[in-house]
Structure 1
Amino acid sequence: MEAAIVTVGDELLAGDTTNTNAAWLAGELTDRGVAVERVTTVPDREPDIARVVNEYRADYDAVLVTGGVGPTHDDVTMVGVAAAVGRDLTTNETAREWLTTTGGYAADELDDGTTALPEGARVLHNTEGVAPGCVVAGVYVMPGVPAEMQAMFESVADEFAGERDHVVFVETPEPESELLDRLRAVRERFDVTVGSYPGGTVRVKFAGGTESVEAAADWFRDRVETV
């Protein structure tokens, strides 16, 4: 299963808010064996949202969109997603009923924009807030508030599954530039994916089948200085 993540918000692009949602979702999907192929941030503009969602839903099994969900002037994600999937936005009575019964809101407290979803969408109820999310044509739309997004994702987490790679990290204090020969050799010798991540030390990631990964990690560990 392949997925793309789209985070929406001018505040993310301006650096006013740290984009923790993308990292959290990518980790959750990867843990479930889903290959995350794209992570993209777009502004609060309907055409940008529609264009990216439309492109990604054609290429991947699922598109997860967070942010810009609600009734305020800059909450245009639902409008953009509706345009991407060719649906009208309509008041969703299932969402409205849930908010007035389970959610504890009076009907006159709910702005029509709060429960406006693409026609025919499946509602994702917001147990940590107000604005509902939805699933439509392989696109999962969730709020941007992390607690709300995370709770909503957990309600659909079982819909994301794949074959998980076995992963081993080997950490070394050697400079990455001096590891090139051994990185090349381990990739040629073993059927594994190798990633090299420099920082204070270099973390080398091996991913793939269990036996191949363990063998590759052992081979590499024997040839580098380890932490």
Structure 2
Amino acid sequence: MSCLYWTESISTKNIDFLLLWLTISTGVIDATTYPFFNVFVSNMTGNVTFLALAVAQMHLRSISAPNSVVALVGFCVGVLLSGQLGHIFGHESRWWLFTTLMVQTLLVVLSVILTSTITFEADSPKVLGLIVPLALSYGAQSATSRGLGIAEIPTVNITGAMIDLFLDKNGLAPANRPRNRRAAFIVLLFAGAVVGGVTARMVNPSTALALAAAEKFVAAVAVLFIPANA
């Protein structure tokens, strides 16, 4: 592959499939981390709520303030690093997209290795080491999807998509394509969560995390076959 191939900008005209595929990974990961580690690594709205309940001294087994704080910080760092580097190198640059998706994949693979070799309890300090690479990975994914400019498929945040499914910024029904994108995003996030939950329950959490990593890897490879921007 020539240097020109790597430095060219990919076409985002039909990039929907890539972001929707990553959305499935998001569903898988959160459906795994929440029931087993009391934290979301991509749904930061949930973590902010957990943290607020902890501050309000709602002592529930499903709430872990340290886990929520670490996930929030890791996610923000992932967004900041990926967003700034993407701005410098070009959000649509083939080599940058491939590189950031591969790094995201390796971060999830690190968590797979950790869950396969170490016994974690949700309230154990050791679980924080598992949360960090996952939060970094999905923060970077959020920045990646934002950089590609398809606002209807954020890959990690469902709230805005649910509102925009029915109303655009002017309070009117959106056009067909944006509406269909949002609907597909919501459906695939749900489907990914079902797959992740079933896999984690019937097999084990590390297998579910491995599935999420595999989906990210496929997305990285797919970048190699997306046509250049004309």
TM-score, normalization: structure 1?
0.28
Which protein is richer in helix relative to its size?
2
Larger strand fraction of residues: 1
- TM-score using structure 2 length: 0.27
The answer to which structure, 1 or 2, has the higher relative contact order (CA under 8 A, 6+ apart) is 2
